[in-house]
Amino acid sequence: MALFTIDEVRKTFTNGEVKEEILKGINLSLREGEITALVGASGSGKSTLLTIAAGLQPASDGQVIFEGENMAAMGSEQVRKIRASKFGFVFQFAHLVPFLTVEEQLMLMLDVSESKLKKHEQKKEVDKILRLVGMGHRKNAYPSSLSGGEKQRVAIARAIIHKPKVLFADEPTASLDSKRSKDVMSLIRDLTKTLNITTLMVTHDEEMLGFADHIIKMSDGQVLQGVGIIVEN
């Protein structure tokens, strides 16, 4: 079923008297347990679309429907709460807090998401998620001692520790070599299926498209017709 619907979304930036339309009426539906990959040249609008879907910036027009409600009509505090409790984020770089251990990174995320779990329950949940991403043996390590692939695994664990409905991944493998990129994408795919997450990913790496259920190609602020591809994995 469609958990997320993007309906005629437009984004216009104004620089003095010049207006530039970055998104030109985007329509897109995202389903649970599936990865949708946005691809396209730099400036095609894919990252802008992701940030609007994630509630990080408003659309100029159109609707972003999440769980039956229009996020564009919500107040900033309501959108913030949805981001904190129901969305997870993975970026090109892990952005781990340098003075926190792996375990503490995830505990902090539970605090941010206003988890109702008690501390001992939180620790159990952290242990469970770290085992799931293959990092249970590194829970007391600091970021400086982790490899690039390990850091990204921790970032993914942090993104899903609060059981989000949607995972937004913006170039999640761009800073990794080919092997680590495939390992990270295999992990994202497995977690998407296992936890029934809706994943929206921006990527420029064609090798990563084989991990997606749907591939949406964008150009000049529009979705190209006839290129929504369903990939059987």
119-137 pLDDT, tens digit per residue, is: 888 899 999 999 989 999 9
| Average pLDDT value for residue range 197-208 | 90
User: What mean pLDDT is reported for the chain?
Assistant: 89
How large a percentage of the chain has pLDDT more than 90? 64
DSSP string, 67-124: TTEEGGGS-HHHHHHHHHHHEEEE-SS----TTS-HHHHHHHHHHHTT--S-HHHHHH
Check residue 225 and give its pLDDT: 56
The set of residues, in sequence order, having a beta carbon less than 8 Å from that of 144 and lying 6+ positions away, is 98
Q: In this structure, which long-range contacts are made by residues 137-145, counting pairs with CB atoms below 8 Å and at least 24 apart in sequence?
A: 138/102, 139/101, 139/102, 139/103, 140/101, 140/102, 140/103, 141/101, 141/102, 142/98, 142/99, 142/100, 142/101, 142/102, 143/94, 143/96, 143/97, 143/98, 143/100, 143/102, 144/98
- Give yes or no for residue 227 having a pLDDT over 50: no
* Residue 224: pLDDT over 90: no
Domains of the chain, by residue range, sit at 2-230
Q: What is the pLDDT of residue 229?
A: 43
What pTM value is reported for the model? 0.89
Number of H helices, E strands in the chain: 6, 11
Residues 6+ positions from 68 with CB-CB distance below 8 Å = none
The reply to whether CATH 2.60.40.1930 applies to domain 2-230 is no
Q: Is the pLDDT of residue 39 over 60?
A: yes
User: Which residues pair with residue 169 across a beta bridge?
Assistant: 90, 201
* Res 1: pLDDT: 53
Instruction: Assign 132 to helix, strand or coil.
Output: helix
pLDDT at 112 over 90: no
d(CA 100, CA 105): 6
The arithmetic mean of pLDDT across residues 18-36, rounded, is: 91
Query: Is residue 226 over pLDDT 70?
Result: no
Confidence of residue 4 (pLDDT cuts 50, 70, 90): confident
Report the alpha-carbon distance of residue 138 to residue 152 in Å, rounded: 13
| pLDDT at res. 230 | 42
Residue 176 confidence (pLDDT) = 84
Q: What is the pLDDT of residue 204?
A: 86
pLDDT at 108: 92
Read off the pLDDT band of 156 (50, 70, 90).
very high
| Pair of tokens at residue 208 | 């990563």
What is the SS3 assignment for 151?
Answer: helix
Predicted pLDDT at 206: 85
How far is residue 61's CA from residue 44's CA, in Å, rounded to a whole number? Answer: 18
| 8 A C-beta contact, residue 223 and residue 216 | yes
More confident residue, 154 or 16: 154
pLDDT score for 231: 41
DSSP state at residue 207: G
Q: How confident is the model at residue 233 (pLDDT cuts 50, 70, 90)?
A: very low
2 contacts 27 by C-beta, under 8 angstroms: no
